Structure 1
Amino acid sequence: MENIIIREIKKSDNAAIEHIIKQVLEEMGVPKTGSTYEDESLKLMFETYQDKNATYYVIEKSGRILGGGGFSQLANADPSVCEIQKMYLIKETRGLGLGKKLLAKCIDGARKSGYKTCYLETMPSMKAAQHLYQLNGFNYIDKPKGDTGHTACQVWMVKEF
């Protein structure tokens, strides 16, 4: 895919990225309760990621948002641990290497922000995402870290820098 850029989120991206995240969650059959679906931050993604130790990126092609992902300090955890958050791409873009590029951007940003560990949560049904994370050095762990409030997410992974 040509003319694709990965850039930091703008306020004008809020509605599009909220729509994409909810669309993907519904497509994957993710419960609305105990998942990202009920996060208040979905309506204010730009505002949520304005902290100096947090960044959210969107994938854009010719003005159209195709997905996004970011990182932020993991809630109620050691300050050296960040969480890869809200990484979702529309169906037509999956399998094209965009998730790999987006994840690399998130990991690089987290490293530059001084984090020592990246943590993430996902759903058991999201096998392709888990495979991507494993290929990029994430390992499974037995229990969740921090307090994300995402009780429906039953797969936990970490990557140490």
Structure 2
Amino acid sequence: MNNTITLRKIQPEDNRELAEIIRSVLSEHDVARPGTVFTDPTTDALYQLFQTPRSVYWVVEVDGKLSGGCGVFPTEGLPEGCAELVKFYVSASQRGTGLGKLLMQKCFESAVELRYTQLYLESFPELAKAVGMYEKAGFHTIPHPLGNSGHTACTLWMVKDLI
């Protein structure tokens, strides 16, 4: 089957559907908790959030249907040169198709263009397939959170050097 895959920057009309994808993935993996993006009010206004300087959010569509997204964000309190890989979610129907890898690679390229030298992320062991993908991409686990994301429920923290 030949699907048309479109990778593009977030638009205001993507907010509602992206929030639904994010919350459905967290619910599916039983990590829909306070202190995560599930209850974070910015989840409903991602386009507006990613108007922040030195940030970008990419979405992927399959045959015109929004199927996921991933961003790079200058989270407050991170070390100099470090940004956070954020709100990285792919709809259940599109997992395992390479879309996650495509989104992640685009974010790596964007982070370098935005002059970052390191990426940080927060996650959960329950998202084991995602964690495995992060490890294959060069992320390694660190023993504590960095920065002030406000996502206090996360229990897994990783970093990757970009250059």
Q: Same fold (TM over 0.5)?
A: yes
Gaps of 5+ in 2: none
Indicate the RMSD between aligned Cα atoms, in angstroms. Answer: 1.1
**TM-score, normalized by length of structure 2?**
0.95
After TM superposition, list the pairs within 5 Å mapping 1:1-161 onto structure 2: 2-161=3-162
Q: Aligned partners of 1:79 and 1:142: how far apart in 2?
A: 19
Q: Aligned partners of 2:97 and 2:113: how far apart in 1?
A: 26
**TM-score, normalized by length of structure 1?**
0.96
Q: Aligned partners of 2:87 and 2:94: how far apart in 1?
A: 16
CA shift for structure 1 position 32? 2.2
Gaps of 5+ in 1: none
Q: Aligned partners of 1:149 and 1:50: how far apart in 2?
A: 19
Q: Aligned partners of 2:7 and 2:154: how far apart in 1?
A: 26
Identity %: 34
Code of the aligned partner of 1:8 = K
Q: Aligned partners of 1:133 and 1:77: how far apart in 2?
A: 19
1:31-80 residue CA offsets vs partner (Å, 9 max, x unmatched): 42111111111111111101230001111123210011101112212241
Aligned residue pairs: how many? 161
Which of structure 1's runs of 4+ aligned residues deviate more than 4 A?
none
CA shift for structure 1 position 118? 0.1
CA shift for structure 1 position 148? 1.1
